[in-house]
Amino acid sequence: MDSQQPAARPPVPFIDLSAQNKPIADEMLEAIARVFDSGQFVLGDEVAALESEIASFCDSRYAISCNSGTDALVLSLMALGVGPGDEVITSPFTFFATAGAIHRVGATPVFADIEPDGFNICAESTAAAINDKTRAIIPVHLFGQTADMEPLWRLAVLHDIPLIEDACQAIGARYQGRQAGVLGTMGCFSFFPTKNLGGAGDGGIITLDDQALANRLAQLRVHGDTGGYHHVAVGFNSRLDAIQAAILRIKLKRLDEWTEQRIESAAHYDRLIDARGLGHWISRPQADEACRHVYNQYTIRVPAFERDDILSSLRDDGIGCAVYYPKPLHLQPCFESLGYSIGSLPAAEAAAAEVISLPIAPGIEAAAREQVIERLAAACENQAAYSSRRAA
């Protein structure tokens, strides 16, 4: 054991939502009271106000809210008429909902590999997966950095295939100066509490410029009702609550400040990792020059065979950390029938074996960040000592 154990320090939680909410608790409680007074709990003025504020934040003409990020994806696919017999290309290295939504509308998910030095879908792998059945491509802006869109735009134009952005982790991110959410035909966002803009429950929204699609989305979320129980399509119930909208409107005003905090924390982590010379153990998240990375996660990579030991060592030291995502979607049991196997998508499989996400949520103090990297360095040193003993 390490003989120079530092004095016990408070643990660093992976995310502390109650601390983030505390400074605005009164304002949120007032907003909830306002909703109670209005008596309008589902859709209504509060939701309409949020939609127009999100549209203006994302530079889109329209924003149609719904019940979750998952529903935003399902509704987008439904609005495009994607269904049985169709294929939709997406990344295997994402939260399950991206592929779940494709399956949910009856279409087949087709996985393209990610870029070997990044976490997002690879355009060449996407191009190779396009065929006559391809009806949409869903790039995921994982961890807060947009996918490399330019080659995807070219594919979309060349093959006349719409792009649906899974921007659930990337509100406020930019690509070549443009906001996530307007980089494709539709942009899907989640308001799950741990997202960069999170409510006090589930919620989601779709940003877009096309009026006909916006109308269709607004119908589909209320069972295809155009008003007066006149159903032009079979949708489902995916409406946003007024209480969520009221809370999200308050948080939206702080989003830029919180995003700046995430960016600063990431830059600090980068400097600390470099200063300790951990480069041969750890690869830092790569932020593309053309992008504004909003760090929903700060995700490092370590050698696959050391990952789980480093993870347990950090956890034993009270450092909250997570593995997003331990198993790529093409290897999930529910997608076995799609015919992928180990080795099918090597870059995604390597990422799944190597990643560790460190605490990055707004409110994390500089001292806590130093503690995280200090414990990470200690974990790597212990592994190095162990590996060399094992080799000897």
Ligand X SMILES: *Cc1c(COP(=O)(O)O)cnc(C)c1O
- Least distance between ligand X and beta carbon 244 (Å): 11
Residue 110: phi and psi, rounded to 5, are -120, 125
Query: Minimum distance from CB of 121 to ligand X (Å)?
Result: 12
Q: Are 206 and 212 in contact (CB under 8 A)?
A: no
Instruction: Please give the Cα distance from 137 to 280 (Å, whole number).
Output: 36
Strands across the sheet with 174-175, in order?
178-179, 174-175, 291-292
- Name the residue nearer to ligand X (CB basis): 94 or 313: 94
Smallest gap, in angstroms, from Cβ of residue 295 to ligand X? Answer: 13
Closer to ligand X by CB, 54 or 377: give it: 54
Of 78 and 282, CB closest to ligand X: 78
Question: Please, which residue, 147 or 376, has the CB nearer to ligand X?
Answer: 147
The residue with tokens 């999930």 is 332
Residue 222, classified by CB atoms within 10 Å of its CB into exposed (0-12), middle (13-18) or buried (19+), is middle
Footprint on this chain of ligand X (rule: CB under 6 A): 68-70, 94-95, 97-98, 140, 166, 168-169, 190, 192, 202, 204
Nearer to ligand X, 60 or 98 (CB): 98
Least distance to ligand X from the beta carbon of 101, Å? 8
Taking the least distance from each CB to ligand X, the nearer of 62 and 95 is 95
Min separation Cβ 142 and ligand X, Å: 6
Q: How far is the CB of 3 from ligand X (least distance, A)?
A: 42
Q: By beta-carbon distance, which residue lies closest to ligand X?
A: 69
CB of 248 to ligand X, least distance (A): 12
Report, in Å, the least distance between residue 332 CB and ligand X.
15
CB of residue 104 to ligand X, shortest distance in Å: 11
Angle, alpha carbons 5-7-11 (nearest 5°): 100
Helix axes 242-252, 45-58, angle to 10 degrees: 40
Nearer to ligand X, 167 or 218 (CB): 167
Q: Which is nearer to ligand X, 121 or 282 (CB)?
A: 121
* Residue among 88 and 379 whose Cβ is closer to ligand X: 88
Minimal distance in Å, beta carbon 141 to ligand X?
A: 8
Closest to ligand X by CB, 187 vs 204, is 204
